[in-house]
Amino acid sequence: MPEPSMRTFATETGVIAYELLEANTPLASPTVTPTIVLLHNFMSTGRAAWGALLDALTEHFRVLLPDLPGHGQSVGHPIGFHHRHIAQQLAALLAHEDVLDAHLAGCSSGGMIAQLLVADGWMQPASLALVSTTYSTNPATTGQLARLEPARFQAGRRWMAATARLHDPFHYEGYYEDVVLAGFRRLRPETAIDLHLSDLARFALPVCLIHGADDEFFPVAIPQAMAAALPDATLHIIPGQTHGLIFRQPWRVAELMVQFLDAHSLISSPIIDRTGEAENENEENRKAGAVHFDG
């Protein structure tokens, strides 16, 4: 069960364990310190994924950092780790903490869940940052055939054993392999994410995409297509980097996110154009300079 240092929120399938970290130096304006919600990748935890970025992010922002359902210190999860159902459970947590209009960021599966929170209207974030993620795991939707298999993750030889230690101590020995890893292997587009670029075209909020040029799961053509579809997007392609950038270059991701958050911390606008009539005027001007190939 969750340790006393973690807050808990009850769901219909268990409890979500989470941290709420206060800003070290709150911004002078607005009077309410802005909050950012950080969603981690599948098979990780809030701290394991985002820990190296927290000093930078908590300088001026409050941080809500959950362990996703079934992960880390959280107990229970929707059947099949269904990402839409996870998004619903997280939305209830965010409503409980009164942060449905916070900034939102997600890595990999966390980025998928973040997009579902926006697309389904569960949350109205001030901005959205997406790291190493996709809008669909369906090859028929994206046109990309990369296989989403743990064995293809270009990490150290012992990353599986290290990942097990993030979960097993809070459940039972073998929980990671029996539940989390098995759940990842059973994910399908219908239980993970299968949005279309036309869905992203209705996102009326600033979006920052940060992606490795050599991502082994989501080829660079995917974030490029996302950036082209989103009305207000900035895309950073990091050369020579593969999947899971928050683990590989956390300092660079933190730098880009802080720049993005500082630029948009005072913006308040509706997140989706539900009339379906996205503003076309000056579209090319908005897109100019939106893609950055970072060195």
pLDDT per position as a tens digit, 19-46: 999 999 765 555 678 999 999 999 999 9
CATH number of 59's domain: 3.40.50.1820
The whole-number average pLDDT for the span 252-263 is 95
pLDDT band at 291 (very low <50, low <70, confident <90, very high): low
Whether 224 maps to a domain, the answer reads yes
Q: What is the pLDDT of residue 155?
A: 58
Whether 2 maps to a domain, the answer reads no
d(CA 47, CA 65): 8
Whether 43 maps to a domain, the answer reads yes
Q: What is the pLDDT of residues 135-188, one digit of tens each?
A: 999 999 999 876 666 655 555 557 788 899 999 999 999 999 999 999 999 999
> Do strands 14-21 and 35-39 pair parallel, antiparallel, or not at all (unpaired)?
unpaired
What is the tally of structural domains in the chain? 1
Q: Is the pTM of this model over 0.85?
A: yes
d(CA 120, CA 18): 23
Residue 173's domain spans which residues? 7-293
Contact assessment for residue 129 and residue 260, using Cβ atoms and an 8 Å cutoff: yes
Which regions of 41-193 does DSSP assign to beta strands (E)? 62-66, 103-107, 128-131
d(CA 223, CA 84): 21
- Scanning 51-107, the segments in alpha helix (DSSP H) are 54-57, 83-96
Contact assessment for residue 266 and residue 33, using Cβ atoms and an 8 Å cutoff: no
Whether 1 maps to a domain, the answer reads no
Whether 279 maps to a domain, the answer reads yes
